A and B are shown apart, each in its own frame.
Chain A
Amino acid sequence: MLNNDSPGSPLPDGLQAKLDLVLEAHDYDATQIVGILLDAQELNELHYVPEPVSYYLAERLKMPVSGIFDCLSFYSELSDKPRAKYPLQVCSSIACRVNQSDSLASVLKELLGIDFGETTYDGRFTLEKATCFGACDRAPALRINGQVYGPLHSREEIATLLRGLD
């Protein structure tokens, strides 16, 4: 068992305590692993679950770490690779696509100088395609860290939104 922030702990300072809070909120219930991973992912500035975190959770939940890796690779909302401080998720399903989400995507690409699947040099933004996240009444919609923005039509609106993030 790993001790709280012990020198041997592969987790950065304070992370272990935060993970324990997440585990406690889910009653240390291994069946809640998907929810636990979603919360754990939010503890990381780049919105992913680093490998040491997976091992730590597996140990605390007494479940095989392969089960965690299986979930990380299966669910599209979970990532085991660093993303960005602000992953920009452009909806690519029907209601948004027929409402010019393609122009939303091209404005983002142009403003940030990146394509889908790429990250800006400062690690602040990454551009991702998302399937329908149920904001069809706000099409074309953009989702950033769970928050939905839309409808986003004009270049100015989009630029203001990006500037306004933190």
Chain B
Amino acid sequence: MENFAFLTQNFGRYDTASIGSYMNVGGFQALKKAVNMDGEEIAQLIARNKVKGRGGAEYDMGRKWSQARAVQGEHKVIICNADEGETTTFKDRELIKNDPFNLIEAMIIAGWAMGADKGFIYMRAEYACLRPLLLNAIRQAKNYGFLGTNILGRGFDFDIKLYSGAGAYVCGEGTALIRSIEGKAGRPRMKPPFIKVSGVFALPTCLQNVESLSLVPHLLLDEEGRYAAQGTEDSVGTKLVSVAGNVQKPGVFEIPFGTTVREIVYGLAGGLPEGQELQLIQFGGASGKAAGPDILDCPYTYEDLRSHGVMVGSGGLAVVDKRTSVLDFLRINQDFFSEESCGQCTPCREGNLHIKLILEKLSAGTATAEDVRLMKKIARVMSMSSLCGLGETAQNTLLSAMQVFPEVFEVTERQTGGVAL
């Protein structure tokens, strides 16, 4: 299969340490075009291409930009969420590593479009090796007058600061990330106030994923509509997916929406190891959903995946073969949340603990039918009443697996231990 390059079109084409090299391949042309456009026009362009946020929540991006524009405030903030913490998700790493200047340009464009004057990049500590690259890109952009005051003579001021996370998955959640940027422990808070009104340092804040932002400069320069010509009616264009687990060639691939899951797993990622059979695929990282082998012929689009009970989410695909049982897979996933729950709210803290215990019992063959019912109930309570997105989505995988693999959760009388209570 041919690799269509839109988001990745700059990869390998310029020296990522040099702004001059970036400008030689058309760098900052999109910004020059953007500053002659009204911010609303840019938001409309994004909306026309039906771009959804690429961090996982799939929020309509054009709408987000229009809303951010509409908020009044002397100072406004754009945050680039580079705290890519979902498991099997490493697409943002590739975007930053191979095209750092494009991200900087995208943030400046976002600043112009929304009337923001501050930009923050919040990058996970695990990507510390990319810090020098981004700091250099910011410094060079400043030297060339693309950051600072009166950018391109348009009376527009914008600056970017790089912040580091320190290994907390919960900091991918908006309010937690904001607390972390404020120099505090990243515990999420209740909403409202929504961050678009009162975010970091109580300023109106717009939070966007690396991939979402990176798309914008390319869209602005795409006059022939190459992007819009890809994909399906509701899932326009292309998407980065990261495939890992039991595949021969794990990696990040740019695919047109509508590519089948089979083409991704067997074509791009080289298929499963010799002689292995597919057990399941988890879409969108630890907080995503799982599907069995019947997902293979499903086109990778927002709508088709949803009708198969999974989601695009973060764009990660964890491929698991039959050497790992469904139950073991769920226990590994549960370990992740038991570790990463911040412990602040009861449903998430206690729910994760008890589901972990029940999964252990199921594994040991000592769970009762009542345990399984209770587990499902706890999972639902968590998704309805947790404080933040972490707790709300932590049991997505379990709930989807209970639907796809009901046999795993069938408890026979023998297993109940024979004691009638």
Question: Which one, A8-16, A75-83, A115-123, is touching chain B?
Answer: A75-83
**Counting CB contacts under 8 A, is B84 at the interface?**
yes
Separation of A28 and B47 alpha carbons in the complex (Å): 41
State whether A134 touches B167 (Cβ < 8 A).
no
User: In the complex, which residues 85-114 of chain A have their Cβ closer than 8 Å to any Cβ of chain B?
Assistant: 92-95, 97-99
User: In the complex, which residues 333-365 of chain B have their Cβ closer than 8 Å to any Cβ of chain A?
Assistant: 333, 335-336, 339-340, 342
State whether B168 touches A75 (Cβ < 8 A).
yes
Q: Binary interface profile of A, 61-79, with partner B (CB < 8 Å = 1, else 0)?
A: 0010001001101111110
Please name all residues of chain A whose beta carbon is closer than 8 Å to the beta carbon of B183 when the two chains form the complex.
30-34, 63, 67, 71
Please name all residues of chain A whose beta carbon is closer than 8 Å to the beta carbon of B93 when the two chains form the complex.
134
Separation of A146 and B132 alpha carbons in the complex (Å): 14
Separation of A92 and B324 alpha carbons in the complex (Å): 14
Please name all residues of chain B whose beta carbon is closer than 8 Å to the beta carbon of A76 when the two chains form the complex.
166-168, 339
Separation of A147 and B339 alpha carbons in the complex (Å): 22
Query: Given that A34-B165, A38-B166, A75-B185 are contacting pairs, would A134 and B84 also be in contact in the complex, using a CB cutoff of 8 Å?
Result: yes
Please name all residues of chain B whose beta carbon is closer than 8 Å to the beta carbon of A139 when the two chains form the complex.
244-245, 250
State whether A146 touches B184 (Cβ < 8 A).
no
State whether B286 touches A94 (Cβ < 8 A).
yes
Separation of A131 and B163 alpha carbons in the complex (Å): 21
State whether B286 touches A137 (Cβ < 8 A).
no
Separation of A132 and B90 alpha carbons in the complex (Å): 10
State whether A94 touches B87 (Cβ < 8 A).
yes
Please name all residues of chain A whose beta carbon is closer than 8 Å to the beta carbon of B211 when the two chains form the complex.
none
Cross-interface CB contact of A134 among B127, B168, B321, cutoff 8 Å: B127
Query: Given that A33-B183, A94-B286 are contacting pairs, would A134 and B332 also be in contact in the complex, using a CB cutoff of 8 Å?
Result: no
**Counting CB contacts under 8 A, is B85 at the interface?**
yes
State whether B318 touches A31 (Cβ < 8 A).
no
State whether B187 touches A74 (Cβ < 8 A).
yes
State whether B87 touches A95 (Cβ < 8 A).
yes
Separation of A31 and B184 alpha carbons in the complex (Å): 8
Interface range on chain B (Cβ under 8 Å from partner): 35 or more
Counting chain B CB atoms within 10 Å of each CB, the highest count among A33, A71, A75 belongs to A75
- Name the distance in Å between A165's Cβ and chain B's nearest Cβ: 18
A-B contact pairs, 25 of them (CB 8 A): A31-B183, A34-B165, A67-B184, A74-B186, A75-B167, A75-B168, A77-B125, A77-B126, A77-B166, A78-B166, A94-B245, A94-B282, A94-B318, A94-B329, A98-B246, A98-B321, A98-B323, A98-B332, A99-B246, A134-B127, A135-B90, A136-B88, A139-B250, A143-B126, A146-B128
State whether A92 touches B335 (Cβ < 8 A).
yes
Q: Binary interface profile of B, 173-187, with partner A (CB < 8 Å = 1, else 0)?
A: 000000011111111
* Chain B residue at minimal CB-CB distance from A61: B183
Separation of A46 and B88 alpha carbons in the complex (Å): 30
Partner-B contacts on A (CB < 8 A): 30-35, 37-38, 63, 67, 70-71, 73-78, 92-95, 97-99, 130-139, 143, 146-147
Counting chain B CB atoms within 10 Å of each CB, the highest count among A63, A94, A135 belongs to A94
State whether B185 touches A71 (Cβ < 8 A).
yes
* Chain A residue at minimal CB-CB distance from B316: A136
Q: Binary interface profile of B, 369-406, with partner A (CB < 8 Å = 1, else 0)?
A: 00000000000000000000000000000000000000
User: In the complex, which residues 256-312 of chain B have their Cβ closer than 8 Å to any Cβ of chain A?
Assistant: 282, 286
Cross-interface CB contact of B336 among A33, A37, A132, A143, cutoff 8 Å: A132
Q: Binary interface profile of B, 6-21, with partner A (CB < 8 Å = 1, else 0)?
A: 0000000000000000
Cross-interface CB contact of B163 among A34, A67, A130, cutoff 8 Å: A34
State whether A137 touches B87 (Cβ < 8 A).
no
Please name all residues of chain B whose beta carbon is closer than 8 Å to the beta carbon of A93 when the two chains form the complex.
87-88, 286, 332, 336
Separation of A81 and B24 alpha carbons in the complex (Å): 49
Please name all residues of chain A whose beta carbon is closer than 8 Å to the beta carbon of B85 when the two chains form the complex.
132
Please name all residues of chain A whose beta carbon is closer than 8 Å to the beta carbon of B342 when the two chains form the complex.
74
- Name the distance in Å between A119's Cβ and chain B's nearest Cβ: 20
Please name all residues of chain B whose beta carbon is closer than 8 Å to the beta carbon of A67 when the two chains form the complex.
183-184
* Chain B residue at minimal CB-CB distance from A37: B166
Separation of A121 and B393 alpha carbons in the complex (Å): 42
Separation of A38 and B244 alpha carbons in the complex (Å): 29
State whether A131 touches B125 (Cβ < 8 A).
no
Q: Binary interface profile of B, 224-246, with partner A (CB < 8 Å = 1, else 0)?
A: 00000000000000000010111
Please name all residues of chain B whose beta carbon is closer than 8 Å to the beta carbon of A94 when the two chains form the complex.
87-88, 245, 282, 286, 318, 320, 329, 332-333, 336
Query: Given that A93-B332, A134-B124 are contacting pairs, would A71 and B245 also be in contact in the complex, using a CB cutoff of 8 Å?
Result: no
Separation of A3 and B320 alpha carbons in the complex (Å): 58
Counting chain B CB atoms within 10 Å of each CB, the highest count among A30, A73, A76 belongs to A76
Please name all residues of chain B whose beta carbon is closer than 8 Å to the beta carbon of A74 when the two chains form the complex.
168, 185-187, 342
Please name all residues of chain A whose beta carbon is closer than 8 Å to the beta carbon of B128 when the two chains form the complex.
38, 146
Separation of A137 and B246 alpha carbons in the complex (Å): 10
Closest CB pairs A-B (n = 10): A77-B167, A136-B244, A75-B166, A74-B185, A35-B164, A31-B183, A77-B166, A95-B244, A137-B250, A76-B167
